[in-house]
Chain A
Amino acid sequence: MREADLVCVGAGPAGLGASIAAARAGAKVLIVDENARPGGQLFKQIHKFFGSQEHGAGTRGLRLGQHLLDQAREAGVEVMLDTVAWGVYDGDTLALRQGRDVSRLKARRILFATGASERALPFPGWTLPGVVRAGAAQTMMNIHRIRPGRRALVVGAGNVGLIVAYQLRQAGAEVAAVVEATGSIGGYGVHAAKLARWGVPILTRHTIIEAGGSERVQWATVAAVNDLFQPVPGTQVRFEVDLICMAVGLTPLTELCRLSGCRLVHHPALGGWVPIHDSDMRTTQPNIFAAGDVSGIGEASIALDEGRIAGLAAAGDLGFIDGPALGEAQREVRERIQAMRSGPLSVKVARAKAELLGLPDGGLEEAADSNQPAHLRRLGWLCGTEVDALPGVPEATAVGSRRVAVVECAERIPCNPCETVCPKGAITVGTPITNLPRLDPSRCTGCGLCVAVCPGQAVFLVDGSRPGEEGAVVLPYENLPLPSVGQEVAGLDRSGRAVCRGRVVKVRKAYAFDRTVTVEIAVPKEAVMAVRGFRTEEGGEPR
């Protein structure tokens, strides 16, 4: 029987983070993953991640995955792929199957980094081909390069729904609408704004009623809902779609924790049942750890850090790290997690985790009560008043006198690449990392590095300083085909409505920024603070 100091089940960010930390300390580490490729969900994430430099912010998820794999290999971690862990015996032995080979593996410490599964939403017609969970659509598009449909309805406006809707457009599909049963968009507003400005409607207080079709999905009906989430009669709308993506939340995959006798607790903010764990990510079984989504649904960067903490603790248990060094290493990671969870959108998760760990949640109340842009949360785009209130938005006099950045970042997201990339120090985030970016227009030279780097595509350049009637707007662009210089376009406002005519004057491929293209369009001067998207005059949606 094979043996190891630490076995991690799941080679996503948490499993890799733990493995790298423990192996670097000298432990013999093995990772088991049921997929043919390691990386968990990271390789499906073609968008750029939020965060700080330590998290590789501004990097696309798939590259972060590759980076972690390289680190794991260098640290001497053994990765067993196509291998399912189907049982746990005696609290220290995993039953494995690789192909048809059944074996067992004994571990002095086990980390369950098994991730989450997507929740299902039953409705009449949900068993038709063409109804998928959003993650499946993402796998088809981003791993297998298959467009899962031509016209989609996305159910759920959390981050998964918003991101998958955006990626559907990138894959050349049309998104008829994103519907959300609650009164508020659950995901980051910047992800919603990316859809809204290209004309995708986000319907809060709406849900899917039924889907139909003969061989596969051909249509779906959607209706408004009341406060009890019951459909309001007479509000039904029918969409002709061949794809319905359900993105109604994630739930931790805890079967192996349950089999091991780890006690679970129910926390809605964490996705449902999670293993009770301490600040080392240790479960109620002393030799078993849980980290990442299985310990509470969160972001990949936090999963990575939770894994690191568990890996360090396991290595400490086995004598590979002494007490002071362990405490030092863990403290740094814990502070980073706390900073990442300090934004207003993370407050429920932060509170649930604090309760679970028996920690004080001082300061969380304050964060929760901080002003949230209501218009953005309800409709997916910032209204004029909300824009004007932002510290990253220059005043009209600055816009009229120079080419200057406009940072439309409104939600205290823990993220700061705009600050890091600016060569002139014109953008300040500072500490905590959830501060809204503040722009000093007098320092901004209009270079546009911040436009290309922003993971939320929330930075633009505007120029109202040229002689004559014409001004310019520079926008981040991640669709194909690229527009061509000289092409006539319609300028779209934040809600996707055409507000003026424009002309493409420059298409800049900033390869240093991993394929985020910036497109400069000439628009009337009075429209530079309104235009945030465009449509080619042929009426063609991008591809």
Chain B
Amino acid sequence: MSASGWPRDLIICRCEEVTVGEVEDLVARGITDPNQIKRLCRMGMGLCQGRTCGSVLEALVARLSGQGAAAVGYLAARAPVRPVLACDIAAASDADLPDFADPH
């Protein structure tokens, strides 16, 4: 057993096959921002886009870092939030294309 109480080889991100141990090692280095963890190990970057593993990651980081869930934060959302082919966006007529300016 490991720092989290879960086996280190337990897969927690099925799309990208990220294990508990990989996340534990990042948190041990002081990295507790879910978004930073995502960029470093690809957790939450697969087909589910964090819909399955996002809350697992947040709970794991909270447990390892001793922070509350509110302090840990959440994975930022990025368009496209559902799968869409780039060629289909390219094929859309100009009138139908979203304006790809910053969403905010």
Q: Contact at A103–B96, with CB atoms within 8 Å?
A: yes
Question: Which residue of chain A lies nearest to B58 when distances are taken between CB atoms in the complex?
Answer: A272
Q: Contact at B89–A259, with CB atoms within 8 Å?
A: no
Complexed CA–CA distance, A18 and B55 (Å): 28
Enumerate chain B residues within 8 angstroms of A127, measured Cβ to Cβ. Answer: 11, 14
Q: Quick check: is A155 within 8 A (CB to CB) of the other chain?
A: no
Enumerate chain A residues within 8 angstroms of B99, measured Cβ to Cβ. Answer: 89-90, 93
Chain A min CB distance to B85 (Å)? 7
Q: Quick check: is A104 within 8 A (CB to CB) of the other chain?
A: yes
Q: Quick check: is A283 within 8 A (CB to CB) of the other chain?
A: no
Complexed CA–CA distance, A259 and B80 (Å): 10
Chain A min CB distance to B50 (Å)? 8
| Partner of A260 from B5, B10, B20, B103 at Cβ < 8 Å | B103
Q: Quick check: is A34 within 8 A (CB to CB) of the other chain?
A: yes
Enumerate chain A residues within 8 angstroms of B6, measured Cβ to Cβ. Answer: 122
Q: Quick check: is B49 within 8 A (CB to CB) of the other chain?
A: yes
Q: Quick check: is A432 within 8 A (CB to CB) of the other chain?
A: no
| Partner of A273 from B52, B74, B84 at Cβ < 8 Å | B74
Q: Contact at A86–B10, with CB atoms within 8 Å?
A: no
Q: Contact at B70–A259, with CB atoms within 8 Å?
A: no
Enumerate chain B residues within 8 angstroms of A124, measured Cβ to Cβ. Answer: 7, 10
Q: Quick check: is A238 within 8 A (CB to CB) of the other chain?
A: no
Question: C-beta contact mask, B70-93 vs A, less than 8 Å → 1, else 0?
Answer: 100010111111111100110110
Question: C-beta contact mask, A254-266 vs B, less than 8 Å → 1, else 0?
Answer: 1110111100111
> Which residues from 77 to 136 on chain A have a C-beta closer than 8 Å to any C-beta of chain B?
84-90, 93, 95, 97, 100-104, 117, 119-120, 122-124, 127
Complexed CA–CA distance, A27 and B90 (Å): 33
Chain B min CB distance to A244 (Å)? 15
Enumerate chain B residues within 8 angstroms of A101, measured Cβ to Cβ. Answer: 88, 92
Chain A min CB distance to B24 (Å)? 13
Q: Quick check: is A138 within 8 A (CB to CB) of the other chain?
A: no
| Partner of B56 from A120, A254, A255, A265 at Cβ < 8 Å | A120
> Which residues from 254 to 294 on chain A have a C-beta closer than 8 Å to any C-beta of chain B?
254-256, 258-261, 264-266, 268, 272-273
| Partner of B84 from A84, A89, A258, A259 at Cβ < 8 Å | A84
Enumerate chain B residues within 8 angstroms of A255, measured Cβ to Cβ. Answer: 49, 51, 77, 81
Q: Quick check: is A230 within 8 A (CB to CB) of the other chain?
A: yes
Q: Can you list 19 A-B contacts with CB-CB less than 8 angstroms, sorted by A residue number?
A: A34-B82, A86-B79, A86-B80, A86-B82, A87-B81, A89-B101, A90-B99, A95-B98, A97-B82, A100-B88, A101-B88, A102-B97, A117-B51, A120-B55, A251-B55, A255-B51, A255-B77, A272-B55, A272-B69
Q: Which residues of B contact A (CB under 8 A)?
A: 5-7, 10-12, 14, 20, 49, 51-53, 55-56, 58, 69-70, 74, 76-85, 88-89, 91-92, 95-101, 103-104
